[in-house]
Amino acid sequence: MSGLYERHRAVSPEWLALYYRHPVELTHGEGRYVWDADGNRYLDFFGGILTTMTAHALPEVTKAVAEQAGRIIHSSTLYLNRPMVELAERIAALSGIPDARVFFTTSGTEANDTALLLATAYRGSNQILAMRNSYHGRSFSTVSITGNQAWSPTSLSPLQTLYVHGGVRSRGPYAELSDERFIEACVADLEDLLGHTRVPAALIAEPVQGVGGFTSPPDGLFAAFRQVLDRHGVLWISDEVQTGWGRTGDHFWGWQAHAEHGPPDILTFAKGIGNGMSVGGVVARAEVMNCLDANSISTFGGSPVTMAASLANLSYLLEHDLQGNARRVGGLLIERLRSVAAASPAVREVRGRGLMIGIELVRPGTDEAAPEAAAAVLEAARAGGLLIGKGGGHHTSVLRIAPPLTLTVAEAEEGAAILADALHAAA
């Protein structure tokens, strides 16, 4: 393994991060488990950053990929593409957006980049509202609207970004307020902000912040925001790259926890829909999607192979009610983890919904973030046979837990037990 690591370092950028002091090479997987090059087996509670959404080596998906690859692998969007049209029809219907149009990309970054292009062109403004502690991708435009210092490497930007309160419930100036008062304070902040600036093109927001540590506002915040945005003519972009497809359990889309005033104007997705294949996309009502007055195509967006994989994956997810499984097993897992955390003075909060759970670590007896503790637990969990992620603002002190949505109760118990040992060992 050290030989491959040295080769990696010789040809890769220094900023291309790897987990673990001794990085692991994953060679194959099945269900919720993966194996490394040394034959060690791990229970996967991170799914390649919430991307292996259903299961590793899901037969329905691998069969669809093989069959489509045997027919034609690539054509581009310059030709009619049956799998792309079929998937677009299904996503348009599921999105909740009236008269929806769908454009496919190869990643969440590219999806958000496209949404920003649409919004700024439609509104004739290069000003964007974004949430503090947010993450929206690694392109030049998306790092400029990312409210998380650790993932925004440049202050140069084609956009003027203004950051809004509300993405983090348990920290910041409104943390001690009730949910109702918290929403009122954030809405007042938004109103005040809009009174001191030109009208922005859009607000982009993750219903549950992913890289930011699985933080979220009280249900209804974005519905309250929507009333203000509509009054000012500002679009709402819901970044569903991590929250979509039923992962939160209670809802198919994250925005539905804030649904009082209807769906967003633009919805972006990626990650889980392809179950590991490179798929992203944008859904918007026709008036917004069709606002561009220049030609555009996508060479790799809507690839026949990735579309076939996504169709098979989406069918499996719906037919087996994986959203319901995320709600049931995720509810059990979060309660189990809260029980585990009660014995650890380093745990400030266990939060989340469905199979999207964060464990925030602090230095015992304080409210200070503890990134060194998160790194230690990550290592101890791997030693115990469990893969998890981490995130949480620029301190990276939150353990991120997001297993495939087919997770069983027994596997949830197994993972929680390993995490309990890892928290104890790291302490």
pLDDT tens-digit series, residues 111-139:
999 999 999 999 999 999 999 999 999 99
pLDDT at 35 over 70: yes
What is the torsion angle, in degrees rounded to the nearest 10, for the CA atoms of residue 58, residue 63, residue 68 and residue 71? 160
pLDDT at 146 over 80: yes
Residue predicted with more confidence, 156 or 277: 277
pLDDT at 272 over 80: yes
pLDDT at 1 over 60: no
pLDDT value for 107: 97
pLDDT at 154 over 90: no
Confidence of residue 46 (pLDDT cuts 50, 70, 90): very high
Percent of the chain whose pLDDT exceeds 90: 94
Confidence of residue 158 (pLDDT cuts 50, 70, 90): confident
Confidence of residue 422 (pLDDT cuts 50, 70, 90): very high
Lowest mean pLDDT among 39-53, 123-137, 138-152: 138-152
Q: Considering the entire predicted model, what is its pTM?
A: 0.96
pLDDT value for 145: 93
Span 377-402, average pLDDT: 95
pLDDT at 153 over 80: yes
Rounded-to-integer distance, Cα 166 and Cα 420, Å: 31
Span 328-355, average pLDDT: 96
Instruction: Give me the domains of the chain, ranges plus CATH numbers.
Output: 2-57+322-426 (3.90.1150.10), 62-319 (3.40.640.10)
Confidence of residue 393 (pLDDT cuts 50, 70, 90): confident
Residue predicted with more confidence, 149 or 163: 163
Confidence of residue 150 (pLDDT cuts 50, 70, 90): confident
pLDDT at 156 over 90: no
Nearest CA-CA partner of 400 in 133, 206, 250, 211 = 211
Lowest mean pLDDT among 181-185, 241-245, 295-299: 295-299
Average pLDDT of the chain is 96
Confidence of residue 149 (pLDDT cuts 50, 70, 90): confident
Q: Would you tell me how many other CB atoms lie within 10 Å of the CB of residue 157?
A: 15
Span 282-304, average pLDDT: 96
Percent of the chain whose pLDDT exceeds 70: 100
Span 93-111, average pLDDT: 98
pLDDT at 141 over 80: yes
Span 251-260, average pLDDT: 94
